[in-house]
A and B are shown apart, each in its own frame.
Chain A
Amino acid sequence: MLTDLSLADILKGLEARSFSSVEVTDAFLGAIDALNPRINAFITVDGQGARAAAAEADRRRAAGEAGALLGVPVAIKDLFCTEGVRTTAASRILQHFVPPYESGVTARMKRDGAVFLGKTNLDEFAMGSSNLTSAFGPVENPWKRRGDDAVLVPGGSSGGSAAAVAAGLAPGATGTDTGGSIRQPAAFCGITGIKPTYGRCSRWGTIAFASSLDQAGPMARTVEDCAILLGSMAGFDLLDSTSADVPVPDYRAACGANPRGLRIGIPKEYHADGLPAEIEALWRQGIEWLRDAGCEIVDVSLPHTKYGLATYYIVAPAECSSNLARYDGVRFGERVPGEDLIELYERTRAAGFGEEVKRRILIGTYVLSAGYYDAYYLKAQKVRSLILRDFTEAFGRVDALLTPTAPSAAFAAGQKFDDPIKMYLNDVFTVPASMAGVPGISVPAGLDASGLPLGLQLLGPHFGEERLFSLGAALERAAGFTHRPALRAGIPAGAAA
């Protein structure tokens, strides 16, 4: 079935003329029609646009043109502005927003011939770890516990992208990661996702959450597919002042590089209290796999890891309160009228933002306010220096770090939603790398006792993506993870569990 193919195999089939882009695009659109009403992975499906782009890709290929993604259908997180296609950030305040311009990342993918199937669901403004904060309803994780049809969350914030890829509604998708929003949902949905180095992908036209942390990256079923996508998404952009003017290497070739001789650090602080025994065991297994691949295993310490989350929950809300000030009901987005301008702002923002977004804006406003700035925001920035120093020192001794991606498998909707801090703890293993701006990849490595996927995370130094692809591919080969979720393209929905 076309929807079972990896992105690399789709490219191969298109090159060999085994099928056309229109055929493969129609196959995925059909799968979306069948499953999206239940999974809710897409907020907007652009069948007409996708078919037109696919026909154009077929025409270009027939004319002898090439492109890194020519004719490959992909899903786009609804945080990337797409010209002429509604872009909501899963917020009521942007429910009718149609960008008049294209984001830097999606412009590159279009340049390379990608076909956009539609816009995927997420936590509102990418703030969340469960997809439960979307104004367009939650996403259902296509995975089920064995013998149990309970709805599980796909993780977040790129939960729609992760669920779409896992269920075979798209062979690959874009995500964004501010504190773990690519890696944690990839782990929860049994797929691969990489958060590149800060500055690797342009932030131009990606709706901002926390500008010093936000970074786009790919999500797909294989390490190689992520490498193909990142090769298209990455690169220098004059329109983003933090974009890195660093050449984009051949990531796909890096997947085949032998990791023998690399030194892998195991950070002792990641042996967190209460980490499930299954996740500890999988981590030990991952260590053995890399040792078998010829890597040297070294114990390292990242002493400020345990402060990563608390630092994050000062820095990220501070930046979000500033970034989201633009949603004022004046220039774009929804408006609720008021007697005067202040009342218009207050009513618009009260009605337009959900609970979690409001909470974070208020925390951010408080920690930046006169009299509290030094105690909270400045302090957090200093701790952030110490977190970066931990990584810099570790990467002076080792080439990469291996950790679990998340402290649990996917959980049921409602299970953690009562207490914001409990939800925040999902990102305990992913946040420190975001604070330091270093790249991280999550690779599906095994199933827990109830049959849910678990991921392992590899972290590298700044611009160490090639090394992560090489090591990630080694883990992937060793793990041989070929499990697929209960809900997926071609499987009748009633057959689940």
Chain B
Amino acid sequence: MPLDTATVRRIARLARIGITDDEAGRLQGELNGILGWVEQLSEIDVEGVQPLSGVGQAALRMREDKVTDGNKVDAVLSNAPERAGPFFAVPKVVE
């Protein structure tokens, strides 16, 4: 089912990417092209096939529960667009 522009806007909102009306129209065409192309997967029978989320050969490891790093406030904040003391600063969120 092809995407309409309202759906494109909803996806962009979910992804937190601002788009203009022009862009919504152009993206609608491009996204529908890609989604139409991946439709070819519907011809494959995957009944009983387990989904594969990754191909790592390593099992997840446990490690000792202890602090190995820290106290690097200035390094952590060194690329902050805006900071207030030892904090990241953002526009007011709560009235």
Contact = CB atoms under 8 A, between A and B. Distances in A.
Interface string B26-60: 01001101110110111010100111111111101
B91 A341 contact: yes
A6 interface: no
B91 A243 contact: no
Interface string A315-340: 00000010001001111111101111
B59 to A, nearest CB: 10
Contacts, number: 169
Contacts of A243: 58
Given A100-B78, A341-B90, A307 B52 contact: no
B4 interface: no
Nearest to A329: B81
A291 interface: no
Interface of B: 3, 7-8, 11-19, 27, 30-31, 33-35, 37-38, 40-42, 44, 46, 49-58, 60-61, 63, 72, 75-76, 78-82, 88, 90-93
A420 B27 contact: no
A385 B49 contact: yes
Nearest to B89: A330
A437 B54 CA distance: 8
B41 A330 contact: no
Given A346-B13, A362-B17, 14 more contacts: A198-B56, A212-B54, A246-B57, A310-B41, A325-B16, A341-B91, A344-B90, A346-B16, A363-B31, A365-B11, A380-B38, A381-B51, A385-B52, A420-B33
Contact of B15 (A362, A419, A437): A362
B16 A331 contact: no
Interface stretch (A33-41, A45-53, A347-355): A347-355
A437 B55 contact: yes
A346 B18 contact: yes
Interface residues of A, number: 74
A421 B50 contact: no
A196 B43 CA distance: 32
A353 B17 contact: yes
Interface of B is mostly: loop
A212 B17 CA distance: 24
9 contacts: A96-B79, A98-B79, A198-B56, A212-B54, A241-B58, A325-B16, A379-B41, A383-B46, A419-B33
B90 A362 contact: no
B8 to A, nearest CB: 7
Interface in A142-198: 197-198
Given A341-B90, A437-B55, A421 B44 contact: no
Most buried by A among B55, B63, B78: B55
Contacts of B3: 366
Contact of A307 (B8, B44, B78): B44
A382 B75 contact: no
A449 interface: no
Interface of A: 96-98, 100-101, 197-199, 211-212, 238, 241-246, 304, 307, 310-311, 313-314, 321, 325, 328-335, 337-347, 349-350, 353, 358-359, 361-363, 365-366, 369, 376, 378-386, 388, 419-421, 435-437, 462-463
Contacts of B12: 362
B17 A349 contact: yes
A323 to B, nearest CB: 12
Q: Which 3 A-B pairs have the closest CB atoms?
A: A437-B55, A381-B51, A332-B79
A381 B52 contact: yes
B41 A307 contact: yes
A238 B63 contact: yes
Contacts of B92: 340
A34 to B, nearest CB: 33
A345 B81 CA distance: 13
B74 to A, nearest CB: 8
B94 to A, nearest CB: 10
Given A238-B63, A330-B90, A365-B15, A313 B55 contact: no
A197 to B, nearest CB: 7
B17 A346 contact: yes
Nearest to A332: B79
Contacts of A353: 17
Given A197-B57, A198-B55, A362-B11, A331 B44 contact: no
A277 B50 CA distance: 39
Contact of B58 (A244, A358, A420): A244
A359 B30 contact: yes
A199 B91 contact: no
A313 B50 contact: no
Contacts of A369: 11, 14
Contacts of A365: 11, 14-15
Given A198-B56, A212-B53, A362-B11, A331 B79 contact: yes
Contacts of A437: 54-57
Contacts of A304: 44
A163 B28 CA distance: 35
A242 B58 contact: yes
Given A97-B79, A338-B91, A386 B14 contact: no
Contact of A212 (B41, B50, B55, B88): B55
